[in-house]
Structure 1
Amino acid sequence: MHYGSIFVETLFGFVMLFILAKVLGKTQIRQLTAFDFISALILGELVGNALYDDEVGIRDIGFAVLLWGGLLYLTEIITQRYKKSRGILEGRPSIVIHKGKLQREEMKKGKLDMNQLLHLLRSKDVFSIREVDYALLETDGTVSVLKKTAHQLPTRNDLNLPPEQIVLSFMLINDGEIIWDSLREIGKDENWIKEELKKQEIYSVKDVFYAEYEKGKNLYVQGY
């Protein structure tokens, strides 16, 4: 039997898929941890081989599954006993918004762009960067949000206040480029946005990492 070959190939697959999961970034894994992601791929491949490859026997698949289970069990033991290994093997949450400011370097490390971040924030009922004090990109690819005190509970209903009109915010500049669809949606043009930037002593769109428009408020701008 080719147990030696199976051992080498499984170990190689473990290492390569772990590296792949890290390179793809947290948001690609979605709600799976890195090891859940790897396990799903490996186990799917093992089952696929058992079903469709006549040359792969039950004992071969059983050996590979036991080997894979042993690697996962060993990983769990290592992370339980050696705290320093947890950051490498399990990852750490990263702060992508700190005191209301986008942390561009942390976003780059997590392979997270503005569209992905806004999507994750909307899943937390946050429709504007202005509402956020802190946001953490978790190891499973989700975002945990701490809103600014002005946007926390109690709600208007709690205070018996009349409802207000809902205003949607628009991303107008992303990484030095104007989002033309959003600009047309709010009925503005390039000259308008340049004038708004000048009011904040910014003279080039290329100097802006992120800009957000919300009706009735000043343009929210963050440079590099």
Structure 2
Amino acid sequence: MKWLQLTLELVIGFILLFAVVKIAGKKLISQMSPFTFIAAIVLGELLGNALYDDHIHLWYIIYSITLWGAMLLLVEYASQKWLSFRLWSEGKPTLLIRNGAIDYEALKKSRLTLNQLQSLLRKHETFSIREVAFCFLEADGEISVLKQADHQKTTREDFHLPPHPVYVPVTLVRDGQLLRDELMELGKNEQWLTAELRKQGVPSWQDVLIAEWLEGKGLFVQTYRPSEGKMPKQQGLKEES
């Protein structure tokens, strides 16, 4: 009887957690603010503690997770509705470095040491304070860095090169499965894909680990067993004509 009750509680708890996470949105998963970080921990603790306590009935689990999920949604709604509430619940970014100079008072208020600041900067490929023009500590604990002009990466504009359009790659086959919706959005059909694969010596999309289309570059294909020492094949646009 206990095994049956535990199984039932696990299944219902899993469904409720899944529903709350889906409804609450990606912010709960990414833990974009201190509130969502705590909310995610409490949500897991509510279910975990309830499952292994014999004195807590199934209905208490359903009620507690449902109520917690409803409060999460209420806070999210209030954050979207009122800017003042959003600033209070999520906080504002803190400027730690201004015009290349560290704001020591802001650093102390954020409970950060210089060692921690340098560690965070290194994660952004910044190994010296002198490279930084501005640095913000975001609400989720990450930092945003704007480097000095001399240390910024070059762009096409720096070389006076004409701009070119940017396209999003579209995955057409993944794990041997044809993604028909993506193929239709691209304006292609299965016959076209089969013909393109055969140009690269692949008889069927079922043999493909991943196939990706990029406008201007053509079709990139990798099978489950690529030839040893060879790069995955890529069909250029010139070869298609």
Structure-2-length-normalised TM-score: 0.50
What residue number does 1:188 align with? none
Equivalent position amino acid for 2:139 in 1? T
In the alignment, is residue 113 of structure 1 matched against residue 119 of structure 2?
A: no
- Structure with more contact order per residue of length (Cα contacts < 8 Å, sep ≥ 6): 1
Structure-1-length-normalised TM-score: 0.53
Following superposition, the deviation at residue 124 of structure 1 comes to 0.2
SS at match of 1:144: strand
- Unaligned runs of 5+ residues in structure 1 are 1-29, 160-224
**Alignment RMSD (CA, Å):** 2.0
Checking the alignment, whether the CA contact within 8 Å between 2:47 and 2:65 is kept in structure 1 is: no
Q: Distance in 2 between matches of 1:31 and 1:147?
A: 26
In the alignment, is residue 87 of structure 1 matched against residue 110 of structure 2?
A: no
- Unaligned runs of 5+ residues in structure 2 are 1-29, 160-241
Q: Distance in 1 between matches of 2:62 and 2:107?
A: 41
Q: 1:42 to 1:31 in 2, by over 3 A?
A: closer
After superposition, what is the alpha-carbon deviation per residue over 1:181-207, rounded to whole angstroms, capped at 9, x for unaligned? xxxxxxxxxxxxxxxxxxxxxxxxxxx
Equivalent position amino acid for 1:75 in 2? V
Alignment of 1:63-212 (within 5 A): 63-154=63-154
Equivalent position amino acid for 1:113 in 2? T
Q: Distance in 2 between matches of 1:54 and 1:117?
A: 47
Q: 1:31 to 1:117 in 2, by over 3 A?
A: farther
SS at match of 2:153: coil
Equivalent position amino acid for 1:103 in 2? D
SS at match of 1:64: helix
Following superposition, the deviation at residue 57 of structure 1 comes to 1.3
SS at match of 2:141: coil
Equivalent position amino acid for 2:54 in 1? D
Q: 1:145 to 1:31 in 2, by over 3 A?
A: farther
**Residue identity (%):** 45
